[in-house]
Amino acid sequence: MSAARKRYVGGCFTAFLVMLVVIMLALLTIAGFLYLKDTKWLETRNAQLGNKSDGVIKSLSNLFKKSTVYSNVENKVQKIEEIEPVSIIKDTLKEEKTNIQTQIKQPLKQTLNKETTKSTPVKVSTSKTITNIKTSVTTKKTTQKIQKVQSTKKSLKVSDSLISPVSKNVTIFFIKYDENSDKMVFSKVSRTLNKSLTPLLDTLKFLFEGPSSSEEEKQITSAIPGNVRVLNVTVKDGIATIDLSSNFAEGVGKELMLARVYQIVYTATQFETVKAVKILIEGKTVTNLAGEGVDISKPLYPNLPQPVKF
């Protein structure tokens, strides 16, 4: 091989080696750049130098204007701390958060002050204001009580004349067997009725509860079953319509059935506004009560004929 040939081959080999070295350096540079970018080292470094702090603050400021102000800032701070403690950005974020809180609270405080100024009486003493408040509350409570009373009256359909503003004694009509006449006679007992919006209904409840133990010792009893319920009571034009449960019609014989019916009639007609009583069974008019020939389809007056003596 000639000397020229050897120099040519040597030059080619040298150029190949140089190219190979350049390619390897380029690959290493690219790999290093990708690694640093993946670990976010460059961003952290730039943030430490202050190059990107303005951009971060701007983006976080936009987040503050939305409904997730506090949670977004805290999450952002937590993510930055997880990468690397950056005291500069952390302090900046905290300062920005404080500023945003101030900006949010200030308009709200001004609005509240305006509303307070509108509602606050001018040149009125504290004691006078408290007195006005107490008077307003008392008036409101009184109005509510009146409305409640009116609502109760309306639901029970009770006339004004049946309202009992004070406690009083009422008469309950039970029955008792009279050995001398061999007949059932009415036996009147007294009950104390406290202040009531529905004295007729409460008096009927006394009747359906039956006689007391001391009264039973005197042979006083009742022809009304103990499980009878009052379904409704209305008073109109002097007639009290009393709707009873179906067990009131359980048969016991005509004499006791008459006593049962007129126990209610005499007990109810003691009130001045009640002249007669019409009894319904489960809302229905009955002409032959329990098949005993007792007609309660019409209003009944307190004039019970024989055989029951009173």
Q: What is the pTM of this model?
A: 0.48
Alpha-carbon gap, residue 121 to 110, rounded angstroms: 19
pLDDT (0 to 100) of residue 251: 76
Token pair belonging to 17? 């080696």
Predicted pLDDT at 213 = 93
Q: How would you classify the pairing of strands 276-281 and 239-244? A: parallel
Q: Is residue 170 classed as helix, strand or coil in its secondary structure?
A: strand
Angstrom distance (rounded) from CA 24 to CA 97: 49
Q: Which pLDDT value is given to residue 204? A: 95
| φ/ψ (deg, to 5) at 44 | -65, -40
pLDDT tens per residue, range 206-234: 999 999 999 999 999 999 998 899 999 99
Residues in the chain: 310
Q: Residue ranges per domain, the chain?
A: 3-103, 129-158, 160-281
Beta strand residue intervals within the chain, DSSP E: 168-178, 183-193, 220-221, 230-236, 239-244, 276-281
pLDDT, position 228: 92
pLDDT at 206: 95
Burial 120-129 (b: 16+ CB within 10 A, else e): eeeeeeeeee
Average pLDDT by stretches of 10, the chain with 310 residues: 72 85 89 72 60 50 50 54 51 65 60 52 49 59 60 46 70 90 88 89 94 93 91 95 93 86 95 95 92 90 68
Which SS3 state, helix, strand or coil, does residue 183 take?
A: strand
The helix-helix angle for 69-83 and 87-119 (nearest 10°) equals 170
Contact indicator for 242, 228 with CB cutoff of 8 Å: no
What does the alpha-carbon distance between residue 219 and residue 199 come to, in Å, rounded to a whole number?
A: 27
Half-sphere exposure of 306 (CA within 13 A, CB side): 4
Which token pair is 133? 């408040």
